[in-house]
Amino acid sequence: MKKIAVFTSGGDSPGMNACIRAVVRTAIYHNMEVMGIVHGYDGMINDEFIPLDAKSVANIIHRGGTILKTARSKEFLTLEGRKKAFANLKKHGVEGVIVIGGDGSFKGALEFSKECDIPFVGCPGTIDNDLIGTDFTIGYDTAINTVVEAVDKIRDTAESHDRLFFVEVMGRDAGLIALRAGIGVGAEAILIPETKTDVEELIKKLESGRKNKSSKIILVAEGDDAGGAFKIAEQVKQRLPYYDTRVTVLGHIQRGGSPTAMERVNASRMGFAAVEALMKNERNIMIGIVDKQITYTPFEHAVKHIQELNPDLMRMVNILSL
């Protein structure tokens, strides 16, 4: 293999740049040329290819976002769009592609491989950590650290005013950001889509736990079955008017920021392994890290999933909270 391409796709996540850097430097070490594709599948269709050398990825390991930009491409969903993308890959002499993104990006690559003979290898880039085939996705560790830092600040003001705060974090289908960050901040309750939220039970806990602590922080994943933070807070406010209740939605700050040390290491390992997988003639697989080892998972299995939550962890959460 003489020339490969790399691109980022779907939602951005911190650590994508560290992964791009590892791909570029590993490929150059193995005497390959590397093209970067800007704006994900859209850039593949619109011929946004740029050559990347070792220097072009200098000083990016610590930067959030993605230097290659990212996009969600409607055109790639069409056969015509994918044909244009294939013609551009051929035009640039690309023999293998590394896609850094979520399960949608892998589905796209799988669809593409049915029509076009160019191998794809994926690296999991998403803050939600909800993909089968890896213990940690690129972006998750940084996202939970960002939440912890923000909630620590909220705790300061909550404590000063004896307030009850509902803090909403990202996680439409999965509550893994709320769960780990919630443990990290010592949240009084963690409400996630994977477990049934009983608002009556929460109200009872808040009533009985009133004297234990002056401030209270409830972490709510945006996809919680009882609704978002505003909806739950409203119900609690009506029943417990003596609580000074506030709501904060953390929003997009959870996607940005400098990746943590752990993130940089994992993303580098995955980018490095992705190039070596292409060299071993692997195709249509996602690189993961499971129990500290690099693993390969076929794209068709690397789908979003609702993780079975560790019962011991959940028991601990209940004991340590309110």
Secondary structure of the chain in HEC code, one letter for each residue: CCEEEEEECCCCCCCHHHHHHHHHHHHHHCCCEEEEECCHHHHHHCCCEEEECHHHHCCCCCCCCCCCCCCCCCHHHCHHHHHHHHHHHHHCCCCEEEEEECHHHHHHHHHHHHHCCCCEEEEEECCCCCECCCCCCECHHHHHHHHHHHHHHHHHHHHHHCEEEEEEECCCCCCHHHHHHHHHHCCCEEECCCCCCCHHHHHHHHHHCCCCCCCEEEEEECCCCCCCHHHHHHHHHHHCCCCEEEEEECHHHHCCCCCCHHHHHHHHHHHHHHHHHHHCCCCCEEEEEECCEEEEEEHHHCCECCCCCCHHHHHHHHHHCC
Can you tell me which of 26, 105, 146, 197 binds ligand ATP, judged by CB under 6 A?
Answer: 105
Does 48 contact ligand ATP by CB under 6 A?
A: no
Interacting span for ligand ATP (CB under 6 A) from 28-36, 106-114, 154-162, 234-242: 106-114
Does 108 contact ligand ATP by CB under 6 A?
A: yes
Does 133 contact ligand ATP by CB under 6 A?
A: no
The CB-of-319 to ligand ATP minimum distance in angstroms stands at 33
Q: Which is nearer to ligand ATP, 54 or 77 (CB)?
A: 77
Q: Which is nearer to ligand ATP, 41 or 136 (CB)?
A: 41
Does 104 contact ligand ATP by CB under 6 A?
A: yes
Does 254 contact ligand ATP by CB under 6 A?
A: no
Does 111 contact ligand ATP by CB under 6 A?
A: yes
Q: Which is nearer to ligand ATP, 78 or 214 (CB)?
A: 78
Does 76 contact ligand ATP by CB under 6 A?
A: yes
Residue closest to ligand ATP when measured from CB atoms: 104
**Total chain residues near ligand ATP (CB under 6 A):** 17
128 is catalytic: yes
Of the candidates 128, 130, 141, 224, the residue annotated as catalytic is 128
Interface residues toward ligand ATP, by CB under 6 A: 9-11, 41, 72-73, 76-77, 101-105, 107-108, 111, 126
Catalytic residues: 128
